[in-house]
């Protein structure tokens, strides 16, 4: 089984030193969230993840969730762990105190999401969708619905799901077949089938609150006719108690490559009672509140799995002997593999990506809080635009690089990485779903280039580039070399953005073929931006902790020398166009 030590020191570094967003620091509701409080939370989070949840990863992989006589049973130990998990209040961390939450900002809850992803992604998924459902209901439901359902979801006694996909439609939700027939009392009866529903059924909570998109019988076809409904597994009585079983049943559990402890279900809705959330025929807009949050969280899953893969690779490289290096330190036998240049390159590649991603995610968390809570509408809107721009980047880049990192971790472990004993191959399998669900990474790339670069508020990408340029202080002698190189790649991203926006007007195939390349270029440059912010702090505070900041500076140097150049490669590949691709004759 892999070992894991939550990177609390690095997380606290970000919270204390990179909380430099003026707009974020103006938020009154978080004035009392001190470093001491956050450190206490993260240290307790580390304990529960390392001691209680981490062992569940292997247990869930070897004893998957099963469907027996219509009842889904989670792996051994999950019930006991979940009981402790909600008793300690982890489901309520970022929720509104009005409904029993602790009211912590996403700058804190994102760190917990990462830890939980590292410890056991399967276990995490049973509560992750609940937070998404909470956010969707909180933003779009009536006060009556919120008062009735949110306290139990926040407490963790009830869970939530997101029911979109059907046998006839995945990404193209306009094709959905699930119908909703209005009743005389204002409720709806839903009939249809949903597939690939994460945590669609389980034995951990008293009730499951399904958020289901469906088409009312008098609504138009396509995405314009989609509404959102709250459909509980058990009907909730007027007094808030759990009532009779609703018309929702589990048809089967998918047999999967990874995340085997998580029940991915086929759900059948047979005249199930549902309650409309938000406006009729505007359900997709409401559901995007949940989907966009989940896309960022999926990116954090890739980051969390990358972290545990890196930690175990580093530990293994320090104890495994194999071969001799050019400057061998062994007089008899072999050197530790960490002395080999290629192994060191792999480890630094992991480390530079992971720490850069974590810093970028912290920046995005600040922007998210500003977009939701700042008193100035203009400031809120700009932050919202930046979050919208970066959501597909974080979802896709972090998960794709998670595959690269878990693959390299297997390579470092050699044959032992391929066997089940070390647990590395499970990390690879568990992470493989992250580039697929919540919209495949190619869908995210298309969304980025066709919808996110510009919108009704203007040219978002250029405003983002202007923000970055204003914060890169090339007058600082210590950072000047990094800033000069960074400016070179900013120019590439700027040219790539102009090319993409112009091509979208004349040749959409060129843009479609270039979409993944563009997303990665934007991603690598954005991570470099996060590293620039880290470097500024590292040079400024160097004498406070020379060992820590030396490591930061040298890790950043690796990223700029060895990883960031990928951005230019993607640019050169993309602008070659799509004519060869589209004219190629497949036999």
Q: Is 415 exposed, middle or buried (0-12, 13-18, 19+ CB in 10 A)?
A: exposed
Exposure string of 552-582, with b = 16+ CB inside 10 Å and e = fewer, is: bbebbbbbbeebbeebbebbeebeeebeeee
Catalytic residue among 114, 155, 254, 438: 438
> In the chain, what is the straight-line distance between the N-terminal and C-terminal CA atoms, in Å?
46
Helices (runs of H) and strands (runs of E) counted in the chain = 20, 13
Contact 125, 198 (CB under 8 A): yes
User: Per DSSP, what are the bridge partners of residue 336?
Assistant: 321
562 CA to centre of own chain: 25
Which two tokens mark 464? 């983002």
Its sign, for the CA torsion 421, 114, 519, 439, is positive
Angle, to 10 degrees, between the axis of helix 121-140 and the axis of helix 424-431? 30
Distances 457 to 381, 386, 511 between C-alpha atoms, Å:
9, 11, 22
The reply to whether 438 belongs to the active site is yes
Q: What is the dihedral of CA 207, 211, 215, 221, to 10 degrees?
A: -160
Contact 321, 337 (CB under 8 A): yes
3-state helix, strand and coil shares in percent for the chain, rounded to the nearest 5: 60, 15, 25
Question: d(Cα 534, Cα 553) in Å, to the nearest integer?
Answer: 8
Q: Closest Cα to residue 263, out of 49, 55, 53, 67?
A: 67
Question: d(Cα 488, Cα 486) in Å, to the nearest integer?
Answer: 5
Please give the positions annotated as active site.
438
């Amino acid at each position: 089984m892999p070992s894991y030590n939550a990177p609390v020191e690095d997380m606290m570094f970000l919270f204390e030193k990179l909380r430099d967003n003026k707009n974020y620091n103006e938020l009154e509701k978080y004035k009392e969230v001190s470093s001491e409080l956050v450190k206490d939370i993260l240290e307790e989070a580390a304990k529960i993840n390392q001691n209680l949840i981490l062992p569940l990863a292997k247990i869930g992989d070897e004893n998957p969730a099963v469907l027996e006589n219509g009842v889904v049973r989670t792996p051994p130990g999950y019930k006991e762990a979940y009981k402790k998990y909600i008793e300690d209040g982890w489901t309520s961390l970022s929720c509104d105190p009005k409904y029993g939450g602790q009211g912590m900002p996403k700058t804190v809850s994102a760190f917990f999401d990462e830890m939980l992803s590292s410890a056991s992604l399967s276990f995490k998924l049973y509560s992750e969708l609940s937070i998404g459902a909470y956010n969707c209901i909180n933003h779009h439901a009536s006060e009556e619905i919120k008062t009735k359902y949110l306290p139990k979801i926040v407490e963790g006694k009830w869970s939530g799901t997101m029911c979109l996909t059907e046998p006839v439609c995945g990404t193209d939700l306009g094709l959905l077949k699930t119908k909703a027939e209005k009743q005389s009392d204002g409720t709806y009866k839903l009939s249809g089938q949903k597939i690939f529903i994460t945590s669609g059924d389980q034995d951990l909570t008293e009730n499951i609150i399904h958020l289901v998109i469906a088409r009312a019988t008098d609504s138009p076809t396509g995405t314009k006719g989609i509404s959102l409904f709250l459909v509980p597994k058990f009907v909730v009585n007027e007094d808030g108690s759990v009532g009779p079983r609703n018309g929702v049943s589990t048809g089967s559990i998918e047999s999967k490559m990874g995340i085997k402890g998580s029940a991915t279900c086929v759900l059948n809705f047979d005249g199930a009672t549902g309650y409309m959330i938000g406006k009729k025929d505007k359900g997709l807009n409401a559901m995007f509140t949940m989907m966009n949050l989940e896309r960022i969280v999926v990116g954090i899953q890739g980051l969390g799995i990358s972290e545990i893969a890196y930690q175990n690779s580093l530990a293994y490289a320090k104890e495994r002997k194999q071969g001799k290096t050019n400057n061998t330190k062994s007089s008899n036998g072999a050197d530790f593999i960490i002395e080999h240049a290629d192994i060191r390159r792999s480890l630094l590649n992991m480390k530079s990506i992971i720490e850069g991603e974590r810093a970028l995610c912290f920046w995005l968390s600040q922007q998210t809080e500003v977009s939701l809570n700042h008193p100035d509408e203009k400031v809120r809107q700009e932050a919202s635009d930046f979050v919208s721009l970066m959501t597909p980047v974080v979802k896709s880049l972090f998960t794709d690089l998670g595959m690269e990192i878990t693959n390299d971790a297997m390579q470092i472990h050699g044959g032992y990485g391929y066997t089940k004993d070390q647990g590395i191959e499970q990390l690879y399998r568990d992470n493989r779903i992250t580039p697929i669900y919540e919209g495949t990474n190619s869908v995210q790339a298309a969304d980025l280039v066709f919808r996110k670069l510009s919108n009704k508020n203007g040219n978002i990408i250029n405003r983002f580039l202007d923000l970055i340029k204003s914060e890169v202080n090339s007058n600082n002698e210590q950072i000047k070399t990094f800033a000069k190189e960074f400016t070179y790649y900013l120019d590439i991203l700027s040219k790539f953005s102009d090319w993409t926006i112009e091509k979208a007007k004349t040749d959409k195939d060129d843009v479609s073929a270039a979409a993944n390349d563009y997303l990665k270029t934007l991603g690598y440059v954005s991570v470099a931006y996060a590293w620039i912010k880290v470097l500024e702090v590292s040079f400024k505070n160097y004498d406070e902790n020379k060992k820590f900041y030396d490591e930061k500076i040298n890790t950043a140097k690796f990223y700029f020398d060895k990883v960031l150049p990928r951005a230019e490669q993607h640019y050169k590949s993309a602008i070659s166009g799509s004519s060869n691709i589209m004219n190629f004759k497949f036999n």
